[in-house]
């Protein structure tokens, strides 16, 4: 809300000593937050001048300039000479003026912010131009669409008059941010009331005015519940050629609106002054009574902005016998608008249901000054008085008469009382607030207060313009505004002893620290993906990871879904790092992924009571599945080369090792088995299992996928369902239960069928005998020494007993058990 | 070895006379002293202390001497051999030390060659600041709440007194899941966790909720469709706005140091009443009159915007099953991304999301 300060000062007797900055600070403390103070910034001798002579001179480039003599008043004029009368010589490129016109001259020393410099006398086009004749644009005035220089109305000023004052360039304008609960402050009336309260001044309500009336004005027919009140008033004999007075134009322009014509300007002025949006119709274009009704589906209207709009049943219309003449509370129609020939005017002022207007404004993406006010709530007691004010201003400046009739259809809704215990402000704010302070704060807001000292109850009747006062706490806010937010003391509450992080939180944190300590760098990725991302990941058409949660309003139609795998984001980051010239890159991410539950809808409950447990459960059941995943990706060196030592590249096994190490951090052991899954290499992908359930995959990426992402060399990666791991993590890991008796180390080399995996044989050896402490594969051989369908696997096995030193016989028994178990898998000792 | 002979004159046995033993000893000592390598010394030992050395051979003659002469000659030869062996041992230490030193010298390296062979991992600063914030509140006895990011409309809006016509529910701000009739959104704030906590637990409740939230803002230098907030909620008997101020001041000091403080400015949020904006005393200039005018962090204001807060609106308590007659509470929320970008002079928010390793690596394992 832009508030011209002189206008505000007219409505509230603010002492001259209060500066604009002080005013703004105080209003900010009163919940009318200052965005900025807008001033023209024009300073220096900006003066009214009368053009004495105009001498067109054609330049070499064909351009015609005017060499003018301008009378800028005795104080500024150069003395008369034999050739020239007293005045100043000024070069001007504009042509929309003539001898005798009043113009605005910036004399040397004037600073114009729009130009960014101070005007000086300068030599141009063969003359010394002793100043500049100004256009609106150069002064930062108006909408800037007027070409040429400013020509003031004849006789409106004298040469030498201060043009800064005449043009209102010295006025400060406060741009205030009005919160949605303070609809009343979208008017000078509301801001003035708060200003009076803030400075402890008397307030005279500009809306307190007589509405003399007799009989009816233009008839009205309300056929919808969304329009409780509709008022019409009429003016006849209006002269449409009359201009708006300069002060009125200045004020509405300072308030951010454009001057259109007297009738429209007056309508807007009263909206700004009182907060009542209103509309002026050309009475001769209205056929029959004015109606208010819901639109029919598909009905059309051309609004004042020349847009044809298709309506829905939820839109509320203003109509006449011929059809729609406006979208109620949002914008009027073109057919009945005021024109250059309008002499009979119908003035409309109404109260509309705020949500109806809010929805219409959103539906049509049409935010007007009227809709902004109606959707927040317009004082329903204002309609007749605002219409009266509009009519009076029209007649005052455009002639004609106000017809005695006043039509009031419907009635203003009444606000309910709010009862508050007098101690509530103290209880809520933690400041001792006396009852007297409470009462004066409330009455200063226009709230009528009945205090019952016996019960300690304060019954508050909110004024018609306060839509935000419905609860006792709303009254507390008003008290705090007056008492001051800076009065709230600082007291640290004592929470009961907490239990620290939950186990899930602690384990997730531990996971992140562990992944970083493995040498991986954490990234965060945007979760938005599309079919193209899934294609690039090599997912086939049936892959369940393509079944993603879709957004109704994605930022990009290319990426309308929430990701089902963190690998897409990691590959994007990997590509970016490679494109920026990095060589050895290892990344991880911990974030949620999303899987939809199709055909489920979340219920919407009322808010006047808690939902039942079953209702709450129904909300949760409707949510997409959204577990935390952890994922990692590596490229380049795992160990970089240095002088005297070779580098080590990341291998497929490193990606699987991350999974194992991550599980170990959570006191879990994963098992792995070979799998085939995009985007992994068909022969280098491990399925990660926890108690037989697949919890993720790791291995080397299919080189075609790496290449498609612009990644050089081989890329290793993995992803696990972290929530599944965390849920399975035991409170205490394996017991540290170990034997101190000597170890016996035995090596075995087996020739096995090629299909047998090292893991299967290793598991068999580990389970062969109780003495087997550990099994480690140390060699895999294929080649001439074995047949083509065989390979050799060599293991180091450590044997140890819990209770004694192993005897030769013990060792023999264990070896035989190992051989028997291996042979059962087709392994033969070499 | 000669046979014992009682009338044998030791003086007449040349190798055993005193002068000869002395000469053999001196020769041996000279050879040891002359040895400049361990190998030389080994040769000197063979020549002068070995089984075939002159003194060893002389020693064999002693057995042939009469008892009296045997003792004298034995002493003489023994002392000479002892002197040589001692000299060898001392020389051995010296030469070995010298040779080891030479070897080590030869092994000298350039200690400035690259040593960063193992990649160093690091955590994203948003993660570590979330952990830091969680620890601050846990130290106050609070607990850490969390909830789903794809959330029910009712919990994200209705339960928090954001009625169906509130501007925040328009298509401009909220990501709606498809189909819209499913009434699901990407949570626009961490506040649904407030509602969830009240629905799931009985007061007293003291929770902080760091988390990821979503708005339909196109990504640019100062906007992202995702950002992070930390939300606080306290519900207990007798809580006032003063406790809110105390909590925020304490939080500010824990994050920004002992001199930190906050101030309230009036504001409006549907879920709190009264509501306030929180300003934080500028952590760069501290609103110091000498510095504030040139401070780029607060742009000369002395205070920086930190978040929003207020007393929990009783309507929210009612919708979440908390008796507003018995309990009151406060809530606050602030963005974490801005905290990171402003403290570390990060000009472009997108840097937090691109994944360039140079962004995250400087943060290491913690802030």
Q: DSSP assignment of A499-562, as one string?
A: --S-HHHHHHHHHHHHHHHTTPEE-----EE-HHHHHHTT--TT-GGG--PBBSS-S-TT--EE
- Contact between A493 and B119 using a beta-carbon 8 Å cutoff: no
How far apart (Å, rounded) are the C-alpha atoms in residues A576 and A580? Answer: 6
- Contact between B138 and A517 using a beta-carbon 8 Å cutoff: no
> What is the pLDDT at residue B100?
93
Confidence of residue B8 (pLDDT cuts 50, 70, 90): low
Q: Considering only CB atoms, which chain A residues are within 8 Å of B117?
A: 639-642, 645, 647
Residue of B308, B289, B304, B301 whose CA lies nearest to B339: B304
Average pLDDT over residues B103-110: 91
Residue of A21, A31, A20 whose CA lies nearest to A190: A31
* Average pLDDT of the residues of chain B: 90
Task: Quote the ipTM score.
Answer: 0.85
Residue of A195, A361, A330, A173 whose CA lies nearest to A256: A173
Q: Considering only CB atoms, which chain B residues are within 8 Å of A585?
A: 357
How far apart (Å, rounded) are the C-alpha atoms in residues A301 and A294? Answer: 13
**B20 and A CB contact within 8 Å:** no
> What is the pLDDT at residue B64?
80
**B303 and A CB contact within 8 Å:** no
Q: Considering only CB atoms, which chain B residues are within 8 Å of A523?
A: 124, 355, 360
How far apart (Å, rounded) are the C-alpha atoms in residues A592 and A527? Answer: 9
* Alpha helix stretches (DSSP H) within A177-220: 188-199
Instruction: Please say whether the beta carbons of B207 and B197 come within 8 A.
Output: yes
Residue of B nearest to A482 (CA): B266
> What is the pLDDT at residue A143?
54
Q: pLDDT below 70 — which residues of chain A?
A: 142-146
Confidence of residue B118 (pLDDT cuts 50, 70, 90): confident
CA–CA min distance A491, chain B (Å): 4
- Spatial neighbors of B2 by CB under 8 A, at least 6 apart, are B60, B61, B63, B64
Pairing of the two strands A173-178 and A2-4: antiparallel
Confidence of residue B171 (pLDDT cuts 50, 70, 90): low
CB pairs under 8 A between A and B: 308
CA A24 → CA A2, A232, B249, distances in Å? 12, 37, 26
Q: Which candidate in A177, A374, A488 is best for mutational testing of the B interface (most B CBs within 10 A)?
A: A488
CA–CA min distance A199, chain B (Å): 17
Q: Which candidate in A367, A521, A585 is best for mutational testing of the B interface (most B CBs within 10 A)?
A: A521
- Contact between B123 and A528 using a beta-carbon 8 Å cutoff: no
For B113, the closest of A354, A601, A642 (CB atoms) is: A642
How far apart (Å, rounded) are the C-alpha atoms in residues B155 and A610? Answer: 12
Please name every residue paired with A103 in a beta bridge, in sequence order, or none if there are none.
A49, A151
- Contact between A33 and B266 using a beta-carbon 8 Å cutoff: yes
For B127, the closest of A428, A522, A573 (CB atoms) is: A522
> What is the pLDDT at residue B167?
64
**B139 and A CB contact within 8 Å:** no
Q: Which of residues 61-90 of B touch A (CB under 8 A)?
A: none
Q: Considering only CB atoms, which chain B residues are within 8 Å of A516?
A: 121-123, 365
> What is the pLDDT at residue B169?
72
Residue B4 has pLDDT above 70, yes or no: no
CA–CA min distance A767, chain B (Å): 36
How far apart (Å, rounded) are the C-alpha atoms in residues A243 and A455? Answer: 60
How far apart (Å, rounded) are the C-alpha atoms in residues A205 and A451? Answer: 25
> What is the pLDDT at residue A157?
86
Residue of B nearest to A604 (CA): B154
Average pLDDT over residues B315-331: 96
How far apart (Å, rounded) are the C-alpha atoms in residues A333 and A207? Answer: 28
Confidence of residue B240 (pLDDT cuts 50, 70, 90): very high
CA B153 → CA A595, A618, B51, B149, B337, distances in Å? 18, 13, 102, 12, 25
Residue B5 has pLDDT above 80, yes or no: no
**B279 and A CB contact within 8 Å:** no
The CA-CA-CA angle for residues A171, A175, A178, to 5°, reads 145
Residue of B nearest to A605 (CA): B154
Q: Considering only CB atoms, which chain A residues are within 8 Å of B122?
A: 516, 521-522
Range with lowest mean pLDDT among A353-362, B2-11, B190-199:
B2-11
Q: Considering only CB atoms, which chain A residues are within 8 Å of B321?
A: 609-610
Instruction: Please say whether the beta carbons of A404 and A217 come within 8 A.
Output: no
H/E element, A33: strand A32-38
- Contact between B171 and A553 using a beta-carbon 8 Å cutoff: yes
Residue of B nearest to A556 (CA): B218
What percent helix, strand, coil does chain A show, rounded to 5? 30, 30, 45
Residue of B nearest to A616 (CA): B199
Q: Considering only CB atoms, which chain B residues are within 8 Å of A645?
A: 117
Residue of B nearest to A620 (CA): B152
DSSP of A667-689 = T---EEEE---TTEEEEEEEEEE
Q: Considering only CB atoms, which chain A residues are within 8 Å of B179?
A: 552
**B110 and A CB contact within 8 Å:** yes
Q: Considering only CB atoms, which chain A residues are within 8 Å of B280?
A: none
> What is the pLDDT at residue B89?
94
CA A756 → CA A100, A777, A787, A819, B296, distances in Å? 108, 14, 15, 16, 67
Dihedral, A548, A554, A555, A561 alpha carbons, nearest 10: 0
- Spatial neighbors of A353 by CB under 8 A, at least 6 apart, are A225, A226, A227, A228
How far apart (Å, rounded) are the C-alpha atoms in residues A154 and A102? Answer: 7
**B239 and A CB contact within 8 Å:** yes
Q: Is the dihedral of CA A374, A379, A381, A382 positive or negative?
A: negative
Q: Is the dihedral of CA B291, B294, B298, B302 positive or negative?
A: positive
> What is the pLDDT at residue A142?
64
- Contact between A488 and B242 using a beta-carbon 8 Å cutoff: yes
**B247 and A CB contact within 8 Å:** yes
How far apart (Å, rounded) are the C-alpha atoms in residues A522 and B277? Answer: 33
- Spatial neighbors of A482 by CB under 8 A, at least 6 apart, are A197, A437, A440, A441, A444
Residue B15 has pLDDT above 80, yes or no: no
- Spatial neighbors of B185 by CB under 8 A, at least 6 apart, are B150, B151, B152, B153, B156, B157, B174, B175, B176, B177
CA A758 → CA A661, A717, A763, A821, B137, distances in Å? 19, 21, 9, 14, 49
The CA-CA-CA angle for residues A178, B338, A550, to 5°, reads 85
Question: What count of other Cβ atoms lies within 10 Å of the Cβ of residue A477?
Answer: 25
**B272 and A CB contact within 8 Å:** no
Residue B172 has pLDDT above 70, yes or no: no
How far apart (Å, rounded) are the C-alpha atoms in residues A336 and A279? Answer: 10
Confidence of residue B1 (pLDDT cuts 50, 70, 90): very low
Please name every residue paired with A828 in a beta bridge, in sequence order, or none if there are none.
A751
Using DSSP's 3-state secondary structure scheme, residue A141 falls into: coil
Q: Considering only CB atoms, which chain B residues are within 8 Å of A619?
A: 152, 154-155
Phi/psi for B180 (5° steps) reads -65, -25
Q: Which candidate in B241, B337, B340 is best for mutational testing of the A interface (most A CBs within 10 A)?
A: B241
For A359, the closest of B120, B138, B165 (CB atoms) is: B165
- Contact between B204 and A528 using a beta-carbon 8 Å cutoff: no
Q: Considering only CB atoms, which chain A residues are within 8 Å of B265?
A: 28-29, 33, 485
How far apart (Å, rounded) are the C-alpha atoms in residues B295 and B285? Answer: 6
CA–CA min distance A482, chain B (Å): 11
For B355, the closest of A430, A431, A573 (CB atoms) is: A573
How far apart (Å, rounded) are the C-alpha atoms in residues A719 and A727? Answer: 17
Range with lowest mean pLDDT among A134-148, A652-666, B90-104, B293-307:
A134-148
- Contact between A429 and B241 using a beta-carbon 8 Å cutoff: yes
For A488, the closest of B141, B264, B352 (CB atoms) is: B264
Q: List strands edge to edge, sheet with A2-4.
A: A2-4, A173-178, A32-38
């Amino acid at each position: 809300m832009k508030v011209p300060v002189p206008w505000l000062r007219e409505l509230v007797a603010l002492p001259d000593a209060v500066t604009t900055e002080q005013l703004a600070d105080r209003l900010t403390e009163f919940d009318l937050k200052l965005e900025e103070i807008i001033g023209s910034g024009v300073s220096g001798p900006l003066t009214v001048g009368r053009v004495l002579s105009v001498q067109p001179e054609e330049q070499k480039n064909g351009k015609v300039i005017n060499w003018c003599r301008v009378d800028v008043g005795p104080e500024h004029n150069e003395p008369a000479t034999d050739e020239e009368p007293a005045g100043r010589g000024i070069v001007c490129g504009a042509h929309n003026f003539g001898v005798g016109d009043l113009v605005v001259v910036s004399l040397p020393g004037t600073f114009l912010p729009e130009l960014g410099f101070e005007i000086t006398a300068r030599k141009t086009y063969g003359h010394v131009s002793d100043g500049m004749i100004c256009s609106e644009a150069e002064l930062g005035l108006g909408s800037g669409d007027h070409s040429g220089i400013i020509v003031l109305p004849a006789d409106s000023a004298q040469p030498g008059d201060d043009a800064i004052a005449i043009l209102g360039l010295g006025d400060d304008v406060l741009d205030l941010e009005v919160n949605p609960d303070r609809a009343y402050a979208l008017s000078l009336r509301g801001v003035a009331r708060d200003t009076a309260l803030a400075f402890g001044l008397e307030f005279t309500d500009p809306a307190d005015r007589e509405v003399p009336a007799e009989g009816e004005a233009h008839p009205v027919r309300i056929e919808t519940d969304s329009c409780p009140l509709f008022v019409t008033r009429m003016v006849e004999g209006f002269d449409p050629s009359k201009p708006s007075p300069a002060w009125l134009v200045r004020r509405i322009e300072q308030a951010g609106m454009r001057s259109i014509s007297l009738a429209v300007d007056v309508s807007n002025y009263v909206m700004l002054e009182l907060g009542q949006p209103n509309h002026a119709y050309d009475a001769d274009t209205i056929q029959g009574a004015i109606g208010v009704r819901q639109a029919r589906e598909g009905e059309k209207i051309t609004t004042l902005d020349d847009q044809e709009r298709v309506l829905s049943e939820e839109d509320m219309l203003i109509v006449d016998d011929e059809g729609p003449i406006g979208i109620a509370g949002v914008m009027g129609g073109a057919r009945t608008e005021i024109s250059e020939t309008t002499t009979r005017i119908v003035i409309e002022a109404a109260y509309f249901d705020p949500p109806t207007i809010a929805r219409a404004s959103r539906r049509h993406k049409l935010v007007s000054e009227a809709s902004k006010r109606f959707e927040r709530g317009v004082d329903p007691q204002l309609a007749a008085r605002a219409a009266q004010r509009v009519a009076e201003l029209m007649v005052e400046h455009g002639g004609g008469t106000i017809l005695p009739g006043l039509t009031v259809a419907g009635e203003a809704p009444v606000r309910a009382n709010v009862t508050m215990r007098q101690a509530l402000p103290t209880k809520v704010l933690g400041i001792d607030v006396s009852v007297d302070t409470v009462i004066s704060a409330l009455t200063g807001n226009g709230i009528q207060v009945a205090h019952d000292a016996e019960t300690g109850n304060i019954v508050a009747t909110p004024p018609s313009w306060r839509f935000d006062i419905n609860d006792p706490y709303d009254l507390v806010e008003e008290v705090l505004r007056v008492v001051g937010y800076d009065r709230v003391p600082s007291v640290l509450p004592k929470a009961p002893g907490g239990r620290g992080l939950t186990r899930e939180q602690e384990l997730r944190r531990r996971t992140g620290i562990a992944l970083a300590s493995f040498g991986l760098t954490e990234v965060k990725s945007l979760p938005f993906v599309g079919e193209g991302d899934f294609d690039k990941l090599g997912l086939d058409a049936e892959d369940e990871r393509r079944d993603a949660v879709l957004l109704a309003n994605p930022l990009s139609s290319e990426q309308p879904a929430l990701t089902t795998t963190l690998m897409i984001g990691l590959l994007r980051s990997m590509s970016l790092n490679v494109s920026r010239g990095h060589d050895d890159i290892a990344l991880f991410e911990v974030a949620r992924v999303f899987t939809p539950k199709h055909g489920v809808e979340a219920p919407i409950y009322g808010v006047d009571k808690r939902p039942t447990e079953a209702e709450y459960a129904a909300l949760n059941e409707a949510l997409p599945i959204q577990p935390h995943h952890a994922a990692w990706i590596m490229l380049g060196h795992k160990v970089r080369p240095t002088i005297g030592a070779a580098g080590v590249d990341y291998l497929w096994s490193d990606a699987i090792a991350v999974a194992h190490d991550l599980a170990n951090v959570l006191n879990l052991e994963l098992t792995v088995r070979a799998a085939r899954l995009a985007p992994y290499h068909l022969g280098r992908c491990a399925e990660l299992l926890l108690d037989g359930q697949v919890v993720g995959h790791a291995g080397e990426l299919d080189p075609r996928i790496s290449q498609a992402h612009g990644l050089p060399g081989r890329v290793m990666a993995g992803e696990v369902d972290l929530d599944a791991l965390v849920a399975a993590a035991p409170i205490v890991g394996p017991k540290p239960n170990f034997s101190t008796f000597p170890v016996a180390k035995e090596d075995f080399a087996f020739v096995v069928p090629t299909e047998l995996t090292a893991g299967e044989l290793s598991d068999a050896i580990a389970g062969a005998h109780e003495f087997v402490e550990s099994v480690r594969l140390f060699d895999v051989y294929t080649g001439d020494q074995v047949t083509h369908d065989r390979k050799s696997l060599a293991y180091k096995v450590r044997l140890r007993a819990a209770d004694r030193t192993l005897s030769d016989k013990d060792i023999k028994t264990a070896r035989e058990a190992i051989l028997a178990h291996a042979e059962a898998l087709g392994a033969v000792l070499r | 070895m000669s046979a014992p002979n009682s009338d044998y004159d030791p003086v007449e046995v040349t190798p055993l006379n005193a002068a000869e033993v002395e000469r053999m000893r001196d020769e041996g000592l000279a050879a040891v002293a002359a040895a400049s390598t361990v190998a030389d010394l080994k040769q000197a030992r063979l020549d002068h202390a070995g089984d075939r050395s002159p003194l060893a051979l002389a020693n064999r003659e002693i057995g042939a001497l009469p008892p009296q002469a045997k003792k004298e000659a034995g002493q003489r030869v023994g002392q000479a051999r002892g002197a040589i062996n001692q000299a060898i041992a001392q020389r051995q230490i010296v030469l070995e030390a010298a040779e080891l030193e030479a070897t080590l010298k030869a092994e000298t390296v350039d200690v400035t060659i690259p040593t960063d062979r193992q990649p160093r991992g690091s955590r994203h600063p948003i993660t570590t600041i979330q952990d830091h914030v969680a620890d601050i509140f846990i130290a106050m006895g609070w607990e850490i709440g969390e909830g789903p990011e794809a959330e029910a409309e009712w919990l994200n809006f209705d339960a928090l007194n954001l009625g169906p016509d509130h501007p925040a529910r328009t298509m401009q701000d909220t990501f709606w899941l498809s189909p819209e009739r499913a009434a699901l959104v990407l949570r626009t704030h961490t506040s649904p966790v407030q509602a969830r906590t009240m629905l799931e637990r009985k007061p007293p409740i003291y929770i902080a909720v760091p988390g990821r939230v979503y708005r339909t803002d196109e990504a640019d230098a100062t906007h992202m469709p995702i950002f992070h907030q930390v939300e606080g909620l306290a519900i207990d008997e007798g809580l006032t706005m003063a406790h809110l101020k105390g909590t925020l001041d304490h939080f500010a000091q824990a994050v920004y140091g002992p001199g930190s403080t906050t101030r309230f400015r009036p504001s409006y949020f549907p879920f709190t009443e009264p509501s306030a904006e929180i300003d934080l005393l500028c952590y760069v200039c501290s609103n110091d009159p000498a510095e504030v005018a040139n401070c780029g962090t607060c742009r000369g204001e002395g205070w920086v915007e930190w978040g929003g807060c207020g007393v929990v609106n009783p309507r929210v308590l009612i919708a979440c099953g908390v008796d507003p007659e018995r309990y009151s509470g406060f809530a606050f929320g602030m963005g974490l991304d801005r905290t990171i970008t402003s403290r570390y002079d990060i000009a472009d928010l997108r840097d937090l999301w691109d994944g360039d390793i140079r962004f995250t690596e400087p943060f290491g394992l913690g802030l």
